[in-house]
Amino acid sequence: MANFMDLLQGQLQNGLLDQLTGQLSGASKEQTQSATNLALSTILGALTKNAAEPQGLEGLFGALNNHDGSILNNIGGLLSGSAQGKEADGVGILSHLLGGSNIFNVVEMISKGSGMNRNNSMNLLMKLAPVALGMLGKQKKEQQMQPKNLWDFLNNSQEEVKKQMPQQSLITKMLDRDGDGSAMDEIASMGMKVLGGLFKR
């Protein structure tokens, strides 16, 4: 089975990254690539961190009943902002995943790491969170996952991404410390070239 980031990468190919760039005022494609990589890496890290605790895993498993992947059939509407409903509620998803206060730390990290302004970074994060949950829900449904299968999928994906993308360990550190400033600075110092790698592999 492909890892979670590979599945998300495939979902955002075929011109959708260009469409996403067009929704972000003044953003370049390179900035969008870098910011998307950071946003998806952070969402994966947050999902894995939450699922590491039995109560968190049970909560995520249940929540995925409302995220069965159908939103992926209207991803153009999601990116343009016309999609509605729980599956498209980026703010709600992020609040559950990150906690309200930590969302702003993540936005700051994405902004520093990609060169994108904070408004665009927040907008991007809100658009990508439903894509990630929809993809995870789709995998749960198609693979008939039980909670342990879901945990194994997330954990294995996280470990695979850590091997491929050096920033993933820093993102995990930031999430563990509720917004560690030095980790954000390290991520920013890596620059857009490294962070844009997700869509160039």
Buried b or exposed e, range 29-62, using 16+ CB within 10 angstroms: ebbbbbbbbbbbbbbbbbbbbbbeeeeebeebbe
Q: Which residues 6+ apart lie within 8 Å of 144 measured at CB?
A: none
Task: Count CB atoms within 10 A of the CB of residue 191.
Answer: 13
Q: Higher pLDDT residue, 196 or 141? A: 141
- Take residue 97 and report the two structure tokens written for it: 């995943």
Asked if pLDDT for residue 194 goes beyond 50, the answer is: no
Q: Higher pLDDT residue, 191 or 186? A: 186
Q: Please, is 96 exposed, middle or buried when counting C-beta atoms within 10 Å of its C-beta (0-12, 13-18, 19+)?
A: middle
Q: Looking at residue 201, what is its pLDDT?
A: 43
How far is it, in rounded angstroms, from Cα 146 to Cα 92?
24
How far is it, in rounded angstroms, from Cα 100 to Cα 133?
18
Asked if pLDDT for residue 182 goes beyond 70, the answer is: no
- What residues does each domain of the chain span? 4-199
How far is it, in rounded angstroms, from Cα 133 to Cα 136?
5
Per-residue pLDDT of 16-68, as tens digits, reads 888 888 889 888 988 998 899 889 999 999 999 999 999 999 999 999 988 98
- Take residue 95 and report the two structure tokens written for it: 């609040």
Q: Looking at residue 186, what is its pLDDT?
A: 64
Displacement of CA 120 from its chain's centroid (Å): 15
* Confidence (pTM): 0.86
DSSP 156-178: HHHHHHHHH-THHHHHHHHHHTT
- Take residue 193 and report the two structure tokens written for it: 């070239």
